[in-house]
Structure 1
Amino acid sequence: MIDKRYHVFICTSGVDMQAERVVLSQALVSQGFFSWGLEQRTPLTTAFARRQIDDCDYFVLLLGGCYGDLSASGVSYMHLEYIYAVTKQKPILVLMHEAPDSRAPELQEKTGEGKSKFSDFRQQLQRERDVVVSYRNMRDLEMAVRHAMPQMIERHPSAGWIRPQNTQKLQEEVDQLRQKIAQLELKSNVFREEAIQIPRVNPDELFAFDYKVHAYQDGNFKELRPQRKMKWGEILAVLGPGFSPAAPEENFSRVINEFLNQTSLGDVREVMPRAHATARSQINIRALHTIKMQLKHNNWIVPTGRDNRQRLLWELTPQAEKTLMTINQGKKAI
């Protein structure tokens, strides 16, 4: 068995959770995890926290009796880190104090507004998360971590960090996968067969699709399914940079979902006018399949070899680049 270690980002309200953070960190270290996180946050530390979340394998939110320091938007830094982890689809474990009202007064929110935001956030976590573990004291917290983290690894396997001496085992696994890929390629060429049945489109034709998105308003969360209409030229402009240089096919979903994350707030506000954030945008799987096939059939992307992991790579064609240049020139003329 390959020996792995995992990075865990610890998210708390701040210094009021220092004692619990120490217990949590020690419990994680004893299980072989690396722990990250920030106790004191400012606008300057936000980017650093996001980089840590990007690189972590698991996200643990430790909630006591405070909502935490507020950002300029009125949302606490703890809440913002949680939203960011959700958008990055990180496996999330919530450790929640069973009775926050019983904590010492200095470990609770002191204003009515703070208490209201804390209560709303606590209820949001209970609604949204599948794994919410309550604790009463430090001993409970330590036992909860020791029990929950192995289950997290089992439910959400991650690449983690592997000791250099285990790379030979990985290479053997890679070689086996390469053999399986070669066998599958001999059986069929699915992409070419599917593309034959699809008519070509021009860049000005519209394509309608729907997608899922999590919308946040007044501390509450709701999953919506907005409709979006885009010209094929606009879709090409979104996806094109993702395949120049060549990239594996999973870039289709990654690039289009990132684009929807950045632009979905306008769609959401038609239904939730006070929405302040969106997360976890995910295009309809059938629409994504149609987009893939259409770009291939229009000769806008073509296969161009494999990477060192033997994934098939796709690349933007000169024809697609010419189409994009025409579209951009038309925008400038307007």
Structure 2
Amino acid sequence: MDRRYQVFLSSTYEDLKEERLEVMKARLELDCFPCGMEYFPAANEDQWAYIRDLIDQCDYYIVVIGGRYGSTDSSGISFTQKEYEYAVSLGVPVIAFVHSAPDTIATGKTDKNALAKAKLDEFKTLVQTQLCKGWSNAHELGAVVSRSLTQLIKRTPRPGWVRADSLASAEASQEILRLRHLVDQQQEKIDHLKLKSPEGAEGLAQGAELFELEFNITLSARARSYNDPDRYIKKQASACHSWDSIYAAFAPYLLVENRENTIKTGIGRMLRDAHQHEILKSQKEYDLGSLAITEKSLQTIIVQFSALGYIELSTSQEERKVVRMAKLTPLGHKYLLTVTAIKTNTDVRKISSTKTSSQPAKHA
């Protein structure tokens, strides 16, 4: 059945008019329905509510980032970033296109405000944790969008839209419903099996058991210049952390498929928070530059949680290179809730209940 897909384009507007036109052409050439700010009504309704509704109906989402952060809402977040985060929260397949040579962008098309520049850099860092491509001019952008969207549609099928006269007859629909019911029953059995631990997992280290993480530290001396070769000190260290604390450090970032390097980044944040004070206690003239687990520790962790059935690995083709990807399995998602969800304090609950029940009754 012939399907067409609705694709939402998010970007700043005035500085990217030519680029938006190329992206629109790319979507039309792929028989997709373009959707973006060009189609926002001038009515006095809540614009953000209207944008959310459009993204809800879209099959795919594209964000293009040039040299501007864009107009912001009352909280200081640009509408481009707000749209991006909303699409990700819905699980809409997202692909980002970031200008690969920002220094070549015309001055009139870049932010002059330091705060806006900083927010733009933070936004770029955020989108680069997902599927991301580079571009340097409008023509190149149109070409890379066309290729990338074709691959995304093939790799991540969506419901799309079909002509009404292509729908099945009433008799065929009844048969489809019957078969769908059988499929749903089988799917329930499959989903149940997905939540079972792999055979032999009970014999693997996990939970509160400790694992020694090895990591590399770079310290920088505040009193020395950046060009001074003696400014930096590099050293290795190790620390023991439970498998649960390690899992909680990176698993929330794998609720949707993400680059394998996200695991390393999450654990690095945990180690920095846990050991920064201790590291700098005897190095008062230094700042902590970087802290990252070794490749050996990283691969051990990946193997361990794969064996436990919590994560699954795959590959993705990006910019002529193969990128390793990771995401939580259904079992891994369930275990993440067990590890990170806040538990109730039963003693406090009992006291609260006692106080409530002991209040004297009030009479009119």
Q: Partner residue of 1:150?
A: 150
Q: Name the % identity.
A: 27
Which letter does structure 1 place at the counterpart of 2:130? R
Larger-Rg structure: 2
Q: In structure 2, do the counterparts of structure 1 residues 68 and 169 end up closer, same or farther at CA, with 3 Å as the change threshold?
A: farther
Q: Relative to structure 1, is the Cα distance of residues 21 and 185 closer, same or farther in structure 2, using a 3 angstrom cutoff?
A: closer
Residues 58 and 169 of structure 1, relative CA distance in 2, 3 Å threshold: farther
Q: Which runs of 5+ in 1 are unaligned?
A: 192-209, 216-220, 225-279, 291-329
- C-alpha change, 1:57 and 1:174, in structure 2 (3 Å) is farther
Instruction: Show the counterpart of 1:93.
Output: 95
The 3-state SS of whatever aligns with 1:168 is coil
Residue equivalent to 2:3: 4
Residue segments in structure 2 that go unaligned for 5+ positions in a row: 192-246, 255-261, 268-327, 339-352, 358-364
Q: Distance in 2 between matches of 1:162 and 1:135?
A: 32
Change in Cα spacing, 1:3 to 1:102, as seen in structure 2 (3 Å) is same
* Match 2:121 to one of 119, 122, 137: 119
Question: Is this contact kept in 2: 1:213–1:223, CA < 8 A?
Answer: no
Q: How many Å separate the matches in 2 of 1:67 and 1:148?
A: 24
1:36: which partner in 2?
35
Instruction: State how far apart, in whole Å, the 2-side matches of 1:144 and 1:190 are.
Output: 38
Check whether the contact 2:252–2:336 (CA below 8 A) recurs between aligned residues. no
Is 140-149 or 171-180 further displaced after alignment?
Answer: 171-180
User: What's the CA shift for 1:285?
Assistant: 4.3
Change (3 A) 1:111 1:165: same
Residue aligned with 1:10, SS:
strand
Matches within 5 A, 1:39-188: 44-126=46-128, 128-130=129-131, 132-168=132-168, 172=172, 175=175, 178-179=178-179, 181-182=181-182
Measure, in 2, the Cα distance between the counterparts of 1:184 and 1:6. Answer: 25
Q: How many residues align?
A: 218
Aligned to 1:14: 13
TM-score (normalizing by structure 1): 0.54
1:183: how far off?
8.6
The answer to whether the 8 Å contact 1:14/1:69 transfers is no
Q: Distance in 1 between matches of 2:10 and 2:153?
A: 18
Letter of the 1:45 counterpart: Q
Question: Aligned-pair distance for 1:182?
Answer: 4.2
CA distance in 2, matches of 1:175, 1:162: 20
Work out the CA distance in 1 between the residues paired with 2:101 and 2:170. 46
The Cα shift of 1:101 comes to 2.0
Matches within 5 A, 1:206-221: 213=252
Q: Secondary structure at the match of 2:87?
A: helix
How far apart, CA to CA, are the structure 2 residues paired with 1:12 and 1:48?
16
User: What displacement does 1:98 show?
Assistant: 1.4
TM-score, L = length of structure 2:
0.50
Distance 2:113 2:139 in 1: 30
- Aligned Cα RMSD in Å? 4.5
Runs of 4+ in 1 over 3 A off after TM superposition: 39-44, 169-174, 179-186, 188-191, 210-215, 221-224, 282-290
1:256 maps to what in 2? none
- For residue 29 of structure 1, what is the amino acid of its counterpart? L
Q: Distance in 2 between matches of 1:190 and 1:59?
A: 30
Distance of 1:66 and 1:30 partners within structure 2: 28
